Chains A and B, each alone.
Chain A
Amino acid sequence: MESEQPLGAGGRIARKFRLANGLGILLLRDPSAPLIAYQTWFGVGSRHEREGKTGIAHLFEHLMFNQTEQLAPGEFDRRLEAVGAETNAATWVDWTFYRNSLPREQLALVAELEADRMAHLVVHDPQVTSEREVVANERRFRVEDDVDGFLSEQLYRLAYTVHPYRWPTIGWMADIEGITTEDARAFYHTYYAPNNATLVLVGDFEERAALDLIERHYGTLPSSNLPAEERIVEPPQTAERRELFIKPVATERLLWGWRGPGLAEEDHPAVEIAVEILASGQSSRLVRRLVIETEIASSLHMSVPEFRDPGLVELRVILQRGHSAVAAKALLDEEIDRLAATAPDEEELEKAKCRIEARFWHSLRPHDGKAEALGHYQTTTGDYRRLFRAAERVRAVAPAEVQRVVAHYLDARRRTIVTAAAPRRKS
């Protein structure tokens, strides 16, 4: 065992192990339901791609459900669905993970199938051709015909100049269409190996038996020589960047982004609190001002990036009919500047902390939620225990820290703005 960490007051403990081939294992026994969340987190995401081959991490995730040396196409899903298990996957900038939710008695089956596809996947032309089409359709769904997805993609393209966060995880359409079977095979042999993966199990199992099972199925898989990752540092942004897009939208939509701290950075909890004070909940400053009092906006959301390197603090505003981005910008600037100039009082700070704490515990309610939080922190920051330290650090943030991070990160000169507006009608 490498480490352990208690979870809440219920006596549950997460424990970390590692096999000789480098496979990380995180176990959290929770018999509150006769189920197990079984997830495999690989330390590869769209940040590991290169220009011209964007989207390969995500397209490859699709191929992982296909064929292995032992299993015919579709058998992986079929065997799991036959016993009631649910399986899916997700790719993001820093990672790719595969999730299985299963009845507890099916643990051995899932371990066998997951270990098999980690080392023995078969990739042929027809599968790559078909999945390229599926992913192109997914891209139409999420980006081309979805104005929010489109704006998000444009925001990152504009905000980054050298860092791989500048391209979308789903990939540019032209790149998706150009991915070959050879590309997919090379990607698999480079990144899919036990020393680039962490298994996360949460649920109703016996720890010793689970470890024995994992050792049996994964212990002989060879590790790989992972390429050294080039550390790319995005140069500081010194002036606002903006772009307007004409789209068939009912009302104008704005998306702002400022480069924030990485997930493991000391400032992350203070930025989380700042965003909470500004835009989370009906009584937050921006929602009250733009949505409730002036009714300039119909909705407003703000989020903090949970990336390894600095991602974008995002502010998304949907305007009401007859209101323009210009009017919204003045109010947004005013409220953000106010928090940069004056620290919040203790009551407002405590409210933000309370809300963050409640959301933290609610997100950990299902087995899948616990597994996802553990896997995300382990893969993104290198240590799952930061998840719990982050919650403690939120409690310790002082009012002046909130003021400081707003002044530092939410500076208008470091801002990128993309806007979608309907075409002007002829009078």
Chain B
Amino acid sequence: MTPNDARSEGPAGSTVFREENHDLPVARLSVTLRLGAAADPADQMGLTAFAAELARRGAGGRGRTQLDAELERLGAELEVVPGYDSVVLDLEVLARNFEPAVRLLADVLLLPDLDEGEATKLQRETIAALDELRDDDSALAQRFFSHQLYGDHPYGRPLHGTEPSLTRLSAPLARRTLERTIAGGNLIFGLAGDVERDRFEAILARRFGSLRSGSTATEPLPTLRPASKLRLLLVDKPERTQSQILLGQPAPRWADPDFLPLQVAATAFGGTFTARLMTEVRVKRGLSYGATARLGQGRGARALAVTVFPSLVDTPKTLALVLELWRAWVEEGLTEDEVEFAKNHMAGSFGFHIATPEDRLDLAVAAEVCGLPRDYRERAVARIRAVTCEEVRGAMERHLRPQDLAITVVSTAKKLRGPLSKVFSGPIEVVPYGSF
């Protein structure tokens, strides 16, 4: 199937992707709204996720309990998956029950109840989920790191908001948001699995025929101002035996020509088990179970970040080592062998990103949301192989700023602040782990 066969126009000017496959009797329909948490107003953090989740809690005259029961009777799961650049309604179902499940999804999208009582309940449940997150050190580190790195930029806002912002959200606000954004031009329908094309198109036309056309202009993301200083945020949590460390800087957006060369550089630095980071931190010194560098993919500039989690005692030593490795990576660059190795690994492993119909669908939708070329998947391996050492060097020079690193450490401050200040000369800010 060529890319043009897989992509077509759907109801009310929406975009449709299909990855038909009949090996197993299951199907998935994803409906992606091209607006995510990055579009939330600054004083209404979490609004998009809140509105979508509230729609999922009652639609077409069915309350939350009835809707859940009807979906589950069909062997279906309907989840709201919020993101910064999009929000997805993701339906997985036995293929024989595809149409009745899609009917329920269509009601969620087009006829949501948006009940006031459910809205209040959702606020409480979201705050409870935040309590759960605070017991997970990795998730906690990620939440604080994004805020530290991005500050007031939309990517610095938590997807589900904060306790104060949640109190400002309501059912009428959710209704206004959905009425403004649910339109054909803002939606991407994606099918993966055991449903034939004709049947799928007929179901889409039948169930989403009342979808209004039009689209909401996607606001350009604000430019992120470099902080121009190395800074460390110590998130204080009692009784830690280990520290969660995230360290990084903003990177170019996915559609930027420098993204791929920088991804090659990040892969060579910390993208494989034999890369520099893992070799120096784990294999040679046993300092951390994991040591990775990752480049985030998004419509705007996501993070290039290193993750390590050493014991509390080894935290200063590990942080000093990672900072030195980062400095050497940026200032001394990569060898030709390292670049070639990273390219071969990325080209060889690209198949895993498109191994299943669901994988292929996810990639097509993400590429569409982030403005990548339509032949992105078909040309990806050739593009990786064509990256030159000069392009890698150029991208590193243009984007990497060792003096602008944000460092987040989740650990026990009374034991760590003193030892950390001996290896880190920049400002150390200490905040309680429940403060954000």
Which residues from chain A sit less than 8 Å from chain B, CB to CB?
A: 8-10, 12, 30, 32-35, 65, 73-74, 77-78, 81-87, 101, 103, 106, 129-138, 140-141, 144-148, 247-251, 253, 281-283, 288, 291-292, 295, 298-299, 318, 320-321, 347, 350-351, 354-355, 357-358, 361-362, 364-367
Contacts and interface: CB of A to CB of B under 8 A. Distances in A.
B286 A131 contact: yes
Contacts of A131: 286
A365 B92 CA distance: 12
A136 B242 CA distance: 11
A130 B24 contact: no
Given A87-B273, A103-B351, A367-B355, 14 more contacts: A35-B355, A74-B279, A85-B348, A86-B349, A131-B286, A137-B310, A145-B241, A248-B237, A282-B72, A292-B64, A292-B65, A354-B74, A358-B94, A362-B26
A141 B68 contact: no
A132 B132 contact: no
Interface string B258-287: 000000000000001110000100111111
A251 B434 CA distance: 12
Contact of A137 (B75, B287, B351): B287
B137 interface: yes
Nearest to A135: B289
A231 B16 CA distance: 57
Contacts of B434: 250
Contact of A288 (B22, B65, B92): B65
Contacts of A84: 344-351
Nearest to B286: A133
Contact of B274 (A9, A78, A288, A347): A78
Given A74-B274, A84-B345, A86-B349, A283 B68 contact: yes
Contacts of A148: 135
Contacts of A30: 23
Contact of B354 (A33, A65, A292): A33
A101 B352 contact: yes
A355 B237 contact: no
A82 B344 contact: yes
Interface of B: 21-26, 64-65, 68-69, 72-77, 92-94, 97, 121, 124-125, 127-129, 131-132, 134-137, 237-242, 272-274, 279, 282-290, 309-311, 341, 344-352, 354-359, 434
B383 to A, nearest CB: 15
Nearest to B347: A84
B25 A361 contact: yes
Contacts of A78: 274
A359 to B, nearest CB: 8
Contacts of B274: 74, 77-78, 81
B348 A282 contact: no
Given A74-B283, A295-B124, A32 B23 contact: yes
A35 B352 contact: yes
A137 B242 contact: yes
Given A33-B354, A145-B137, A367-B355, A248 B238 contact: yes
A74 B64 CA distance: 53
B289 A83 contact: no
Given A85-B348, A298-B125, A354 B73 contact: yes
Nearest to A251: B131
Contacts of B239: 247-248
A180 to B, nearest CB: 16
Contacts of A292: 64-65
27 contacts: A10-B24, A73-B283, A74-B274, A74-B279, A81-B273, A82-B345, A84-B346, A84-B350, A130-B283, A130-B286, A134-B282, A137-B286, A140-B241, A141-B242, A141-B289, A148-B135, A247-B239, A250-B134, A282-B72, A291-B125, A298-B129, A321-B127, A354-B94, A355-B75, A358-B92, A365-B358, A367-B355
Given A83-B344, A358-B93, A33 B129 contact: no
A86 B347 CA distance: 12
Contacts of B25: 8-9, 361
Contacts of A132: 286
A109 B154 CA distance: 46
B374 to A, nearest CB: 21
A103 B128 contact: no
B24 A364 contact: yes
Nearest to B125: A298
Contacts of A136: 311
B24 A361 contact: yes
A249 B346 CA distance: 40
Contacts of A86: 349, 352
B376 to A, nearest CB: 18
Contact of B348 (A83, A134, A350): A83
A390 to B, nearest CB: 17
Contact of B242 (A81, A144, A281, A366): A144
A251 B309 CA distance: 24
A81 B68 contact: no
Contacts of B75: 354-355, 357-358
A129 B346 CA distance: 32
Contacts of A367: 355
Nearest to B134: A250
The 9 A-B residue pairs whose C-beta atoms are closest, nearest first, are A84-B348, A133-B286, A298-B128, A354-B75, A358-B75, A282-B68, A84-B349, A10-B23, A250-B131
A176 to B, nearest CB: 12
Nearest to B352: A101
A250 B311 contact: no
Contacts of A358: 26, 75-77, 92-94
A320 B354 CA distance: 40
A282 B355 CA distance: 30
A131 B285 CA distance: 9
A144 B289 CA distance: 14
A9 B129 CA distance: 41
A251 B345 CA distance: 44
Nearest to A369: B356
Contacts of B355: 33, 35, 366-367
Nearest to B358: A365
B245 to A, nearest CB: 12
A321 B128 contact: yes
B93 A147 contact: no
A32 B192 CA distance: 14
Nearest to B128: A298
A350 B352 CA distance: 35
Contacts of B345: 81-84
A148 B137 CA distance: 12
Most chain A beta-carbon neighbours within 10 Å: one of B74, B131, B239, B285: B131
B91 to A, nearest CB: 11
Given A358-B92, A362-B26, A365-B26, A299 B132 contact: yes
B289 A138 contact: yes
A113 to B, nearest CB: 14
A133 B287 contact: yes
Contacts of A74: 274, 279, 283
A76 to B, nearest CB: 10
A10 B22 CA distance: 7
Contacts of A145: 137, 240-242
